[in-house]
Structure 1
């Protein structure tokens, strides 16, 4: 069932969003919206980190149902990303580069450039951690979480653990176990907003470093505070459209790696969210159209609605691929 739903999400998003870059043969990139505006047709607005998650979903799909055609699409996608970024992987946002590094690492490509950029963003200011972006004074979970996962998967467990420990002592709410957004370094002011994104990347960091007690605590906190009725809550369109999908990815990993009750809790959060997401989808050209709030029905027409964003549709695809990994 979940594998079938994931395949339907893939078909819908690939058909509606993927197109050539600037009409060039052999290229493919995802448009940022559907129906696309003229700027989106030209990939003028292309959202570097959204594209990293589309690539991650294509890799998920290839693991679910391998095909030579999709493998070729993945290769073209990687090349097109670099072309659209004017021949470089560089980006001012450290979190953007961490996400693309994680996706490229899964394809077997060298990620030395991405690791070097992460290391260049680490300073002792604020007790450690990596800046959110270059020439900025904010350090946050959305950067340090995926950077820690990237370092851990690349074998640099020392730096991964430094990042985990900074997150644990700086941004985890001792009262709830939830992970705050970040720290304004100059005045030591905490940004205490609660995003599902932050819970997901902290959970992923805990799992990579076998910090199972912290991972279990995070799963419980998510269940208690971020999933009304057992369904992970959305956080709008734009960048927020990806947040719950990122959390679902790492909850599925927790379901497979954690012992005890939290494994089942993580599993149920993913599968309940997947059922709600699918049940609320509307039939649209080439397949389902998903709402950014999985507990709500998608609109009849996406124009002017957050669900037209690539981020929202990719977030749902992330969820359904995560659910598919839990299907026997």
Structure 2
């Protein structure tokens, strides 16, 4: 059931959003909105990290049901990202970590060459670590803000890259990033991760931003699950379990993850769903009984997203709040966040997460 629904969502997103980059053969990029404006058709506004999640979703779909056409699309999207960005990196450490993760998965799935981009991305992430506020990488170059959205995906990437071509010390870097988040940005009352903190030039913390975002929980959970695989102390399993409990207590309505509107926020719930599904798949093998709780949230969220879909040209259209019916935008002037690629990717992501759990037979 979930595999079929994920396939329908995939077809709808690709039909409406996937295009050649400036008409160049052998390229693809995701158009930021549908219906698109003229500027969006030309990709003049560059949503770098949305493309990383589009690539991630394509890898999900390829793992669900391999197809040579999709394999070609994966390679074309990677080429389109490289050409549009002119390089593999940019000034935002969170952006490049997301692309690194997607590229690494594309390599494992479809042998996409990644040595050059991953070398560039991880080198920049290593250089981004400073001792200000006790460690961590900045949100972006030249900034005074350090946050979970940068350090979380960096930790996951380093944990995976350590055994697939990176430096021996990369796994320790993953631990350091995750420990830094644990020490400075976990709310002791709820167990949820705060967003980040502002740092003075002398390295002291000026202010902690206690806003709670769903995707901060997702990347911290993902880092803990990666680190738990080679740790016998149970520390990382325990932190993963605490995060799952906190999410299931504070960030759901009837087990359905809450949305965060459109724009970048449109991706937040889908990212958390991805790492909840990963936790549901891996934690039982590490001695945890919280896998079914994580799976339950994923399945309930997927059910709500599917139930509240709207019908549009190309297939189903999803809303930013999965508990509410989606509205179909009728033109580029229609200011509905359903237009945003981020919102559609998030729903596709949760459906793929449910399909993955379905394949594994995980209870939810």
TM-score (norm 1): 0.98
The aligned counterpart of 2:165 is: none
Are 2:83 and 1:52 equivalent residues in the alignment? no
Are 2:273 and 1:248 equivalent residues in the alignment? yes
Q: CA deviation at 1:90?
A: 1.9
The aligned counterpart of 2:225 is: 207
Q: CA deviation at 1:301?
A: 3.0
Q: CA deviation at 1:286?
A: 1.1
Alignment of 1:298-313 (within 5 A): 298-301=326-329, 303-313=334-344
The aligned counterpart of 1:32 is: 32
The aligned counterpart of 1:170 is: 184
Q: Is the 8 A contact 1:31 1:46 kept in 2?
A: no
Candidates 287, 290, 296, aligned match of 2:318 = 290
Q: What is the rounded CA distance, in whole Å, between the counterparts of 1:304 and 1:164 in structure 2?
A: 38
Are 2:354 and 1:323 equivalent residues in the alignment? yes
Q: CA deviation at 1:261?
A: 3.6
Candidates 146, 154, 161, aligned match of 1:147 = 154
The aligned counterpart of 2:166 is: none
Q: What is the rounded CA distance, in whole Å, between the counterparts of 1:27 and 1:254 in structure 2?
A: 34
Q: What is the rounded CA distance, in whole Å, between the counterparts of 1:176 and 1:29 in structure 2?
A: 39
Alignment of 1:144-293 (within 5 A): 144-155=151-162, 156-186=170-200, 187-210=205-228, 211-259=236-284, 260-293=288-321
Q: What is the rounded CA distance, in whole Å, between the counterparts of 1:43 and 1:54 in structure 2?
A: 15
Across the aligned residues of Structure 1 and Structure 2, the Cα RMSD in angstroms comes to: 0.9
Q: What is the rounded CA distance, in whole Å, between the counterparts of 1:66 and 1:169 in structure 2?
A: 42
The aligned counterpart of 2:233 is: none
Q: What is the rounded CA distance, in whole Å, between the counterparts of 1:273 and 1:176 in structure 2?
A: 21
Find the residue that maps to 2:191 and give its secondary structure: coil
Q: What is the rounded CA distance, in whole Å, between the counterparts of 2:46 and 2:29 in structure 1?
A: 8
Find the residue that maps to 2:173 and give its secondary structure: helix
Find the residue that maps to 2:122 and give its secondary structure: helix
TM-score (norm 2): 0.88
Q: Is the 8 A contact 1:255 1:263 kept in 2?
A: yes
Q: Deviations over 1:85-131 (max 9, x none)?
A: 12x11201000000000001112222111110101110000000000
How many matched pairs?
A: 327
Find the residue that maps to 1:194 and give its secondary structure: coil
Q: Is the 8 A contact 2:19 2:29 kept in 1?
A: yes
Q: What is the rounded CA distance, in whole Å, between the counterparts of 1:261 and 1:299 in structure 2?
A: 38
Q: Is the 8 A contact 2:35 2:329 kept in 1?
A: no
Q: What is the rounded CA distance, in whole Å, between the counterparts of 1:266 and 1:145 in structure 2?
A: 19
Q: Which runs of 4+ in 1 moved over 6 A?
A: none
Q: CA deviation at 1:71?
A: 0.4
Q: What is the rounded CA distance, in whole Å, between the counterparts of 1:209 and 1:165 in structure 2?
A: 11
Gaps of 5+ in 2: 108-113, 163-169, 229-235
Q: What is the rounded CA distance, in whole Å, between the counterparts of 2:121 and 2:78 in structure 1?
A: 14
Q: CA deviation at 1:37?
A: 0.4
Q: What is the rounded CA distance, in whole Å, between the counterparts of 1:121 and 1:297 in structure 2?
A: 42
Q: Which moved more, 1:73-82 or 1:183-192?
A: 183-192
